[in-house]
Amino acid sequence: MFEHGRFLTLEVRRNSCLDHSHDRIRYSGITFCWPDGRPVSTGVSKLCQVGTRVLLGKRFGGDRLLVEIWVVPTGEDAPRLDLPKGLRSCRLMLKRLGQQGVIHLFDRTPTDLIFDDGVDEAPVLQWIGLASLAANEEFWLDVFVKPV
């Protein structure tokens, strides 16, 4: 779909056992699985309500959804993606801190989405871009989700 983008095809499963609140932020538990049903080794197990809505939208009304999650490299001030109707993107920044990559919102606010060299599978690290980042390096990306 996008010449310079990367995507993973994953099944997103709702996991209410992982739901919780912290500092007035409500999190929805999520389990990511490969299309063949195997769980993805990743430290990402929750999304805040805003993240769930932005990335998965109204389509995620049930317990499972098979999706392509796209990462498109961009710049902090680059024009927004021109996506087909019904798809939304979110501009984020990944910053490497040691063996971890912390996702930041467009205003540089750090989130609880953390990728880790010692936890996440190699395809996940390559997809998100952490595998190619040096210490303290930043990588701006647009993320969008397309149902399969």
Residue 6, H or E segment: strand 6-14
pLDDT band at 35 (very low <50, low <70, confident <90, very high): very high
Res 7 pLDDT > 90: yes
Res 60 pLDDT > 70: no
pLDDT at 137: 97
In sequence order, what are the residues at sequence separation of 6 or more whose Cβ sits closer than 8 angstroms to the Cβ of residue 53? none
The pTM (predicted TM-score) of the whole model is 0.88
pLDDT band at 59 (very low <50, low <70, confident <90, very high): low
Residue 11, H or E segment: strand 6-14
pLDDT at 44: 87
Q: Which residue has the higher pLDDT, 49 or 40?
A: 40
